[in-house]
Structures are given as C-alpha cells and as structure tokens.
C-alpha cells in the first residue's frame, strides 16, 4: 500500500467511527464495562505512543535528548501549562541540548 | 433571536478552546512534514481524519515505517469519538445532512465544551462553535505548520522528535486521574518499550493497547462501585487544550 492508500484508509476509518457514534443505539455503551475499556484503551495507546516516540529509533531503543525534553513537558503539564507551551518547551529543550552536543 | 447569557458564555468558552487547540495544529503540520508526508497528505489528514490524537499517532507510526499499524493506531484512538457521538446525538440532535457534519466535528474539545454548558441551547452552541471553529483553525494552522516544516530541514535539530513525544504526554495527562488509569499507563509504556527491539515499527503500540483492553474488561485495580465512574467528557474532561476544564 502506498502512503496515500494508508492515509485515505485511516482517515475514512476515523470518520466512519465518528458516524457510528450517531448511528448505533446508545444503549450499547451505557454499561460501565465498554466505557471503561474504551477509556483505558485510549490511555494505553497514548502511553505506548509516548514511550515509542521518546525512546524508539533505529532497530530498538535510543537514549537521547528526547528524554529530558519529555520530562520538561511533563513538568509543565503538571503545573497546567497550555498544550502548545509545553510542546514548544520540549522542542526547545531537545534543540538546545543537541546544540550543546548531546545526541 | 435573543442571545441569553448562557449562550454568550458558550460562545466565549468555545472560542477560547478554538484558539488554544488550533494553535497546536502548527505543531501537527510541521511534524507531519518531518515524518515524511507531503503538504497534500498532511492536509488530507487534518481535513478528513480531523482528530488530533489519531493524526499524531498516524504520522508517528508512519515516520517509524509502521505502515498499516499506523492505520490501526489511528482507528483505535478514534474509537472514543464514537462514545462522544452517542452523547452528542442527544445534545445536538442533528437532522439530515447536518448529521455527518456534526459527526465529523465530534471530537474531545467540542464534546467537552458542549457538556460543560448548563442548558440545551447553549450546549448546542458550544458544540457547533467549538467543533466548526477548531476544524477551520486546525486546518489553517496545519497548513501554516506544514509550510514552515518544509523550510526547517532536519527535524531533530529543532527538537521536533521530542515535540511529538511531548504532544502525546499532553493528550495523556488529563486522563491520569484514577489509580487504574495510572497503572495502565505505566504498564503500557513499559510493555511498548520492552517490545521496541523485538517487534517491527508500529506493533509495540498496538501490543501495549492490549493492557488497556484487558484491564478494562476485568476492571482490575478499578473502583468496586462501577457507577463511581464519571461520564466521558465531564469529570475527566478529555480536553488537551484545557486539561482541567478551566474554560467551563
């Protein structure tokens, strides 16, 4: 599959899921179990993505300036900094550390 | 039509969330280019997929060479939108051609702003102002970010790889209130990291998703009284721009 195929497939899938929310009987998700499972699925996906984005590289784990950068962002999120501020601070941290010679 | 105070407040809440959320469309545009997508591919994601978490997940996995795993990650992260749709259907009650439009702008932010309003009319206003406003702002910002990303050269030099990781931290943070969610997040991160050297790109994240599903189904570490769980979009506030719902 080309990149375009993947993009269209993923976009249509996400859009179809949104439409599904308006089409299925709400009763289906009124019980706590599916709600909880969906919420925890989201948590585990996001957490897995944090780990992979912060540590992944080459054929395995690469430790570099991303780790202190993510720590800075987490600190800012903890004190309720706006999203864009924390993300920009993470980028600046990594950029400066690399300027100083860190990988 | 008379604008009540509640409706005016819904407009204000919606617009402030629109500004904050649209701003990070900039980082999506730049990151998408740095992950190897071109300008049009980046724009199609923002125009058509239009769900921040899914979009960041998709380009992250694509950058690592994950291919189809990127589609799966985006779709799984988009599942929560179906849950929002179920509650927004009652709030917005869209008819005919408005239904697919309402569905398309049903995201974390529009759901959160709508549910934070006190009565039906201001809830509808909050939903539409936030949803349509973010769609416009997010796409404009994506375009600006993508054009900027084209000029940047090596994304690592600007720390854009770290920005991608930080973006996921920001999406995750407001969901880490209960002990169960924190335990799931920790276990998922450890599992994904451990599998990094073993599995092809994209699959460690999919494998980590199993942690959430298993804990969700068994309610391991969960509250004994299930009714204690808040509705999605209210107490837990799935709103990355305003994690504690200060716009409410």
Position of tokens 């991303």? Answer: A66
A32-55 and B203-218 helices, crossing angle to 10°? 150
- Answer whether residue B218 is part of any domain: no
> A58: alpha, beta or left, given left = phi > 0 and alpha = psi -120 to 50?
left
Task: List pLDDT tens digits, range A8-32.
Answer: 999 999 999 999 999 987 777 678 8
User: Looking at residues B70-75, what average pLDDT do you find?
Assistant: 96
Taking an 8 Å cut-off on Cβ atoms, the answer to whether A6 and B62 are in contact is: yes
Interface of A with B in 33-72 (CB under 8 A): 33, 35-56, 59-61, 65-66, 69-70
Distance in angstroms (rounded) separating the CA atoms of residues B32 and B130: 24
The candidate with the shortest Cα–Cα distance to B189, out of B175, B172, B177, is: B172
Which residues on B lie below 8 Å from A10 (Cβ)?
45, 49, 54, 58, 70-71, 74-75
**Mutation target among A1, A38, A40, A76 for the B interface, most CBs of B within 10 A:** A40
Whether B185 and A46 lie within 8 Å, measured CB to CB: yes
Question: Does residue A77 belong to the interface with chain B, where contact is any CB pair within 8 Å?
Answer: yes
Residue in chain A closest to B43 (alpha carbons) equals A7
Chain B residue numbers with beta carbons less than 8 Å from the beta carbon of A52 are 60, 64, 192-193, 196, 204-205
Residue B240: inside a domain? no
Lowest mean pLDDT among A58-62, A94-98, B67-71: A58-62
- CA separation for the pair B143, B137 (Å, rounded): 10
Tens digits of residue pLDDT in B76-86? 999 999 989 98
The torsion angles phi and psi of B121, rounded to 5 degrees, stand at -70, -45
Residue B38: partners with Cβ closer than 8 Å, 6 or more residues away: none
Q: Do B64 and A95 touch (CB under 8 A)?
A: no
Answer whether residue B22 is part of any domain: yes
pLDDT of residue A1: 83
- Phi, psi of B97, deg, nearest 5: -70, -15
Chain-centroid distance of CA B137 in Å reads: 15
pLDDT given for residue B1 in this prediction: 57
Q: How many helical (H) and strand (E) elements, i.e. helices and strands, does chain A have?
A: 4, 2
Per the domain annotation, does B139 fall within a domain? yes
**B32 occurs within a structural domain:** yes
User: Quick check: B73 pLDDT over 70?
Assistant: yes
Domain range for B29: 5-160
Distance from CA of B6 to the nearest CA of A (A): 25
| Interface residue of B50, B162, B204 to substitute, partner A, most A CBs within 10 Å | B162
**Angle formed at CA B223 by CA B221 and CA B224, multiple of 5 degrees:** 110
pLDDT tens column, B155-174: 889 998 999 899 999 989 99
Provide the domain count of chain B. Answer: 1
For an interface test with B, the pick among A27, A52, A73 (most B C-beta atoms closer than 10 Å) comes out as: A52
B152 confidence band (pLDDT: 50, 70, 90): confident
Q: Chain A contacts of B42, Cβ < 8 Å? A: none
Q: How confident is residue B241, by pLDDT bands cut at 50, 70 and 90?
A: very low
- Residue-wise pLDDT tens digits, B215-224: 999 999 988 7
Q: Give me the phi and psi of A61, to 5 degrees please.
A: -100, 130
Q: Flag whether B180 is in a domain.
A: no
Cβ distance of B168 and A86 shorter than 8 Å:
no
The most confident of A22-36, B123-137, B228-242, by mean pLDDT: B123-137
pLDDT of residue B244: 36
A46-93 pLDDT tens trace = 999 999 999 998 779 999 999 999 999 999 999 999 888 999 999 999
First to last CA, chain A: 33
**Chain A residues near residue B208 by CB distance under 8 angstroms:** 44-45, 47-48, 51
Whether A91 sits inside 8 A of B45 (CB atoms) is no
Task: Please list every residue in chain B whose beta carbon sits closer than 8 Å to the beta carbon of residue A98.
Answer: 156-157, 159
Q: Examine residue B208 and state whether it is found in any structural domain, yes or no.
A: no
Is B187 inside a domain boundary?
no
- ipTM confidence score: 0.94
State the virtual CA torsion across A92, A93, A95, A101 in degrees, nearest 10.
Answer: 160
pLDDT, tens digit, 9 for 90 and up, residues B22-55: 888 988 999 999 999 999 999 999 999 999 999 9
Closest chain A residue to B75, measured at CA: A14
């Amino acid at each position: 599959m080309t990149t375009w195929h993947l993009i269209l497939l993923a976009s249509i899938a996400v859009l179809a899921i949104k439409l599904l929310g308006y089409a299925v009987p709400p009763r289906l998700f009124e019980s706590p179990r599916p709600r909880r499972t969906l919420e925890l699925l989201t948590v585990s996906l996001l957490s897995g993505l944090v780990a992979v984005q912060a540590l992944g590289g080459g054929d395995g784990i690469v430790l570099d300036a991303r780790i202190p950068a993510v720590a800075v962002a987490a600190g800012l999120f903890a004190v309720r900094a706006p999203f864009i501020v924390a993300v920009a601070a993470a980028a600046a941290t990594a950029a400066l550390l690399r300027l100083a010679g860190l990988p | 039509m008379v604008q009540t105070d509640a409706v005016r407040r819904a407009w204000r809440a919606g617009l402030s969330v629109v500004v904050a959320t649209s701003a990070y469309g900039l980082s999506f545009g730049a990151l998408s280019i740095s992950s190897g997508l071109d300008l049009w591919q980046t724009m199609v994601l923002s125009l058509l997929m239009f769900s921040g978490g899914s979009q960041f997940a998709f380009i992250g996995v694509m950058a690592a060479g994950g291919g189809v795993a990127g589609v799966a990650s985006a779709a799984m992260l988009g599942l929560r939108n179906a849950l929002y749709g179920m509650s927004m259907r009652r709030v917005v009650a869209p008819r005919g051609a408005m239904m697919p439009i309402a569905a398309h702008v049903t995201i974390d932010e529009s759901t959160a702003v709508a549910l934070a309003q006190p009565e039906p009319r201001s809830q509808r206003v909050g939903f539409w102002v936030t949803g349509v406003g973010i769609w416009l702002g997010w796409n404009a910002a994506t375009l600006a970010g993508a054009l900027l990303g084209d000029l940047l050269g090596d994304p690592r030099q600007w720390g854009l790889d770290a920005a991608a990781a930080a973006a996921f931290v920001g999406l995750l943070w407001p969901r880490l209130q209960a002990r169960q969610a924190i335990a799931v997040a920790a276990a998922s991160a450890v599992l994904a990291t451990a599998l990094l050297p073993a599995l092809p790109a994209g699959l460690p994240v999919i494998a980590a998703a199993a942690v959430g599903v298993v804990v969700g189904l068994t309610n391991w570490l969960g509250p004994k009284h299930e009714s204690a769980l808040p509705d999605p979009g209210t107490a837990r506030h799935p709103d990355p721009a305003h994690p504690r719902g200060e716009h409410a």
